[in-house]
Amino acid sequence: MKRLILWFSFCLCIGAVAGAYLYVQTQGVSTAQGVTGTVNAEELRAYEKDGKNPFGGEISGAELTDKEYQEYIHGMSHQKVKADEKWTFFEIHSLRISWLLEHLETNDLTHKHVYKQILMKWADEDFSNAVADHNTIWEMQRGTIGKAKRLLTPEEEAEYIKENN
């Protein structure tokens, strides 16, 4: 009986570790590829000088996959939407948007048309559908918490940026 309890406890621990790992992988919350928070022109120039992308990451435009597109778009959308949970933040910047658009056609992406539709609107500074944009990407990432509910007011957006600086 003691052996059975010990074996069950061991299996439970292994399952918990595996579950936590899979959760983090499918939620796309890793910030190791980029620097979160606000960004200014000087920081963007420093990223370029250091051979980094506009998000502060090491991955080049030619190496972008669906996972990175989703992570970057999702992180930028947090600036515009109200959601109970937000785990990543990349400030929306025209250079970031144009960099993502520039590499859409050169990469083999499953959801290229979705990214293009979102980024083209954002390039025109049209964020009126940011809630739907966020939730589309969130669903692709198999999100379970943090669904966007509404657009932030300009005051809420300014506060969110300030808090994440």
For tokens 């083999």, the residue is: 108
Q: Please, which residues bridge with residue 90 across strands? A: 37
Nearest in space to 84 (alpha carbons), one of 146, 28, 157, 141: 146
Q: To the nearest whole number, what is the mean pLDDT of the chain?
A: 85
Q: From CA 24, how far away is CA 162, in angstroms rounded?
A: 26
Categorize the per-residue pLDDT at 15 as very low, low, confident or very high, splitting at 50, 70 and 90. low
Tens of pLDDT along 17-47? Answer: 555 444 444 443 333 333 345 688 888 888 9
Angle between helices 66-77 and 94-102 (to 10 degrees): 160
Looking at residue 16, its pLDDT comes to 55
Tens of pLDDT along 123-140? Answer: 999 999 999 999 999 999
For tokens 């198999």, the residue is: 142
| CB within 8 Å of 151: residues ≥ 6 apart | 80, 81, 82, 127, 128, 130, 131
Q: What is the pTM of this model?
A: 0.77
Residue range 88-99: average pLDDT? 95
Residue range 107-122: average pLDDT? 97
Provide, rounded to the nearest whole percent, the portion of the chain with pLDDT above 90.
Answer: 67
Categorize the per-residue pLDDT at 2 as very low, low, confident or very high, splitting at 50, 70 and 90. confident
Looking at residue 144, its pLDDT comes to 92
Nearest in space to 157 (alpha carbons), one of 86, 100, 99: 86
Residue 84 has pLDDT above 70, yes or no: yes
Looking at residue 1, its pLDDT comes to 77
Residue range 63-69: average pLDDT? 97
